[in-house]
């Protein structure tokens, strides 16, 4: 599937060739016209975003302490400045549909990466040097809400945020 290959390439820091973005937009448009179009959000969440976030998480999940904080900050910077805008560009044809691609991607980053590593331990260390990117990440993720209201994952994020702000 070319859409999946393109999205995974972005998460793997491979980038896209000049014509790839146009082809991916067309692929998304075609997918939306098929009977799978109504399942697009599930496909995006369960296939593309989950796989992509696992790729990012696997690079940092065994780290602890300061190394975890520094590597997570670097991962967040890459995700926020490169991956997220590219996902929004790839899925431009679904702009206006709920939930937005940006919201889904940020929630997946929160649930699969931020809440699935030893971040609380790292933030609790007495001499932890908290990179500004970690504070930015937690504040941005705090502003993303799920349609079902306040969840347990959101409350976990709030606990992490209290340690840095």
Q: What is the pLDDT of residues 69-113, one digit of tens each?
A: 999 999 999 999 999 999 999 999 888 777 889 999 999 999 999
| Structural domain for 11, as ranges | 2-162
Q: Which residue has the higher pLDDT, 39 or 122?
A: 122
**pLDDT greater than 90 at residue 7:** yes
d(CA 127, CA 130): 9
Q: How many domains does the chain have?
A: 1
Q: What does the DSSP assignment read for 37-80?
A: GGGHHHHIIIIIIHHHHHHHHHTTTT--HHHHHHHHHHHHHHII
Judged by phi (left if over 0) then psi (alpha if -120 to 50, else beta), residue 57 lies in alpha
pTM of the predicted protein model? 0.92
| Residue 54: CATH number of its domain | 1.20.1310
Residue 2: pLDDT over 90: no
């Amino acid at each position: 599937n070319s859409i999946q290959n393109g999205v995974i390439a972005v998460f793997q820091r491979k980038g896209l060739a000049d014509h790839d973005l146009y082809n991916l937009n067309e692929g998304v448009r075609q997918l939306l016209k098929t009977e799978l179009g109504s399942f697009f959000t599930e496909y995006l969440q369960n296939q593309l975003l989950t796989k992509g976030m696992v790729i990012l998480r696997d690079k940092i999940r065994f780290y602890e302490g300061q190394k975890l904080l520094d590597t997570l900050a670097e991962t967040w910077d890459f995700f926020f400045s490169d991956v997220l805008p590219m996902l929004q560009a790839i899925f431009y044809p679904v702009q206006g549909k709920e939930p937005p691609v940006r919201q889904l991607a940020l929630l997946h980053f929160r649930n699969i990466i931020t809440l699935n590593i030893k971040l609380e331990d790292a933030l609790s260390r007495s001499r932890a040097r908290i990179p500004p990117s970690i504070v930015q990440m937690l504040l941005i993720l705090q502003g993303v809400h799920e349609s079902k209201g306040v969840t347990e994952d959101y409350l976990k994020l709030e606990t992490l945020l209290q340690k840095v702000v």
